[in-house]
Structure 1
Amino acid sequence: MLVGWWLLFGLLTAATYRSSLIAHLSVPAMSAPVDTFEELIGRAGWSWGLEPTYGAEWEWFKGSASPTVRKVFQGIEVLPTKEHLQRVMAGSHALLTWKFYIQSLIASRFTDASGYTPLYIGRSQQYVSTGYGWGFRKGAPFLRRINEVKQWLLEAGLVNYWLDDLIQASAQAARMKQAAAGGTEQKEQARAAEDGRLVLGLGHLQTAMYLLVVGSGFAFLGLLGELVLPHH
């Protein structure tokens, strides 16, 4: 009887070890994200850059008095956006660009129907004045009221909410257009996304598969115990 229980314990331990080892080797470890300039310049082997516009962002880096920002400016590589994103996908490279522009680009070109994207957008943001504004005649009586309403919208978060909604709608339309030129499976996923439905794939069924494997393992152990352990 004791030998049978030790046999079951050994089989269970071996199965658990093999499962953990397979899971560890199958799922690659993700590196820590880069959120700040300090983290960016502190990573060995990393590179970063801007698009060749030489606009407000270039002048902001060039004229900054911050030692960290100036160090970032010294390492900037100016390349086309497509080449920057290819290097970002390869790893150890960062593209310094406008927030809503890159959000729209990633959502439309690098995000699947389930919302997954391999690209990461840092949480740190820098305000760069571009010189845009609304023009009013001098002394306009409604200017103060407009400024108050704009401030309320910003503080309430409505501007970011509307922009995020606009980006998602534009990205969905872009994915639909790309899928229309693809195969039958892509078209089905596009139609499902348009209707608000989600086409399940293997990635969505992993939990059920794990439960099936674990349940089958316990059932096998129970059957093995019935065959090995002596019956009274």
Structure 2
Amino acid sequence: MGRNVQHHQQVSSASVVEGMLNPRGRQMPNSTKITEAEMWRSRHGRLSAGAVVLETVGSLVGQGLYGRISTSHSNHILVGCWLLFGLLMGTAYRGSLISSLTLPTLPPRPETIEQLVTVVERATTDPYGNSHKSFLLKSDSPVFKALGELMYPAVNVTDGLRDALTMKRAHIHTRQYLQLMITRHYMQADGTVPLYIGKENIIFHTQAWPIPHDAPYKDALDRIITAVVEAGLYERWRKELLEKVTQVSRAKQQEAEQQTSDATAGEHNKSSSRSLTIAHVQGCLMLLLIGLMLAGMAFVMEITVERFTFSRERNSTG
């Protein structure tokens, strides 16, 4: 019985190999040893293109490569490009997933005058803004005219920033003063602010100190002011002042948060944290599902081809 089973197994394996390599039904010598790599070799002694494709596609389902790869340069290029593609896609997906979980998602915000006039409903400014409003309305640019129509003077900085935070409005003032007021009144404990300053300037103007007419110290004062500005002392003073205001504002906010109850702080931290959901990993799950489907299809095709070849070989020998 043991010899019959062994002979049957030899006939089955030989018939499968013969059906795959000799479709015309030619006999093969029983002493020939057929390996997995030799089954996919072409007549020139190289791995065929089908074997290389199976190697690349099989990497999706966790299958390794054959013991010997093809000596063709085109197949080397195909496998190398596939491995490089998988490395780049995996790195890019991992980086995008980490960034989406760590960095806050901010809505698009207007940075230029063209974007500002299409988004806001009103642009407030201080009482001296009447001259700026008339200047913009007389401009030949349609963008400046639209901004002049939206401009509403006689609003101080505190009210203007509050309206910009709660309504679709913007407040126009000097950049340094806006940075100082936003940092002083709206700085949070983590160092973030809910307001921002656009990148583009609207109106350029100079500032000067009033002195008496024909004052004898005018030239000396001009040289001193020019030296201070060109040496960067003004910018240094502005940065130090802004850093000091930032530290004071953050300290106040942290002290205010410490005075709250532990329950409120816990609920706030729980609501502000982001957890990993199915939407963040749906890409890798889809790739896994596609790989499993391809593997299942390949398995079914192998079983079908094996049974068909075995039955055809048995009918031909019978």
Cα distance per residue 1:46-70 (max 9 Å; x no partner)? 223224x421x33122234323333
Alpha-carbon distance in structure 1 between the residues aligned to 2:237 and 2:111: 24
- Code of the aligned partner of 2:130: W
Question: TM-score, normalised on structure 1?
Answer: 0.56
Question: TM-score, normalised on structure 2?
Answer: 0.44
Report how far residue 8 of structure 1 moved. 4.1
| Equivalence for 1:225 | none
Report how far residue 5 of structure 1 moved. 5.4
Cα distance per residue 1:127-161 (max 9 Å; x no partner)? 2457x524246240x32122122123223332122
Report how far residue 101 of structure 1 moved. 1.9
1:58 partner SS: helix
- Code of the aligned partner of 1:50: T
Instruction: Give the unaligned 5+ runs of structure 2.
Output: 1-54, 64-88, 261-268, 277-318
| Equivalence for 2:110 | 34
Q: CA RMSD in A?
A: 4.6
Alpha-carbon distance in structure 1 between the residues aligned to 2:103 and 2:97: 10
| Equivalence for 2:127 | 54
Cα distance per residue 1:4-57 (max 9 Å; x no partner)? 954448xxx99x97996797599665344433323322x3x4223224x421x3
1:50 touches 1:97 (CA, 8 Å); kept in 2? no
Report how far residue 124 of structure 1 moved. 2.3
| Equivalence for 1:198 | none
1:109 touches 1:175 (CA, 8 Å); kept in 2? no
Cα distance per residue 1:78-103 (max 9 Å; x no partner)? 55645543443357532212222211
- Code of the aligned partner of 1:47: E
CA separation of 1:178 and 1:27: change in aligned 2, threshold 3 A:
closer
Alpha-carbon distance in structure 2 between the residues aligned to 1:28 and 1:133: 44
CA separation of 1:80 and 1:139: change in aligned 2, threshold 3 A:
closer
1:94 partner SS: strand
CA separation of 1:47 and 1:154: change in aligned 2, threshold 3 A:
farther
- Code of the aligned partner of 2:179: Q
| Equivalence for 2:11 | none
2:223 partner SS: helix
Question: Relative contact order (alpha carbons < 8 A, sep ≥ 6): 1 or 2 greater?
Answer: 1
1:104 touches 1:167 (CA, 8 Å); kept in 2? yes
2:199 partner SS: coil
**Pairing partner for 2:169 from 93, 96, 99:** 93
1:35 touches 1:124 (CA, 8 Å); kept in 2? yes
2:226 partner SS: helix
Alpha-carbon distance in structure 1 between the residues aligned to 2:236 and 2:214: 32
Alpha-carbon distance in structure 2 between the residues aligned to 1:149 and 1:26: 48
| Equivalence for 1:145 | 220
Alpha-carbon distance in structure 2 between the residues aligned to 1:83 and 1:19: 41
| Equivalence for 1:102 | 178
Alpha-carbon distance in structure 2 between the residues aligned to 1:168 and 1:150: 24
| Equivalence for 2:306 | none
CA separation of 1:103 and 1:155: change in aligned 2, threshold 3 A:
same
Alpha-carbon distance in structure 2 between the residues aligned to 1:92 and 1:160: 32
| Equivalence for 1:69 | 144
CA separation of 1:177 and 1:24: change in aligned 2, threshold 3 A:
closer
CA separation of 1:50 and 1:129: change in aligned 2, threshold 3 A:
farther
**Pairing partner for 2:243 from 168, 173, 180:** 168
- Code of the aligned partner of 1:35: E
Instruction: Give the unaligned 5+ runs of structure 1.
Output: 186-200, 210-232
Identical aligned residues as a percent: 20
CA separation of 1:32 and 1:166: change in aligned 2, threshold 3 A:
same
The 5-angstrom pairing of residues 1-232 of structure 1 reads: 6-8=60-62, 29-41=105-117, 43=118, 45-51=119-125, 53-55=126-128, 57-64=129-136, 65-66=138-139, 67=141, 68-78=143-153, 79=155, 81-90=157-166, 92-125=168-201, 126-128=203-205, 133-136=209-212, 138-140=214-216, 142-183=217-258
1:135 partner SS: coil
Count of residue pairs the alignment pairs up: 182
1:107 touches 1:168 (CA, 8 Å); kept in 2? no
Alpha-carbon distance in structure 2 between the residues aligned to 1:138 and 1:17: 69
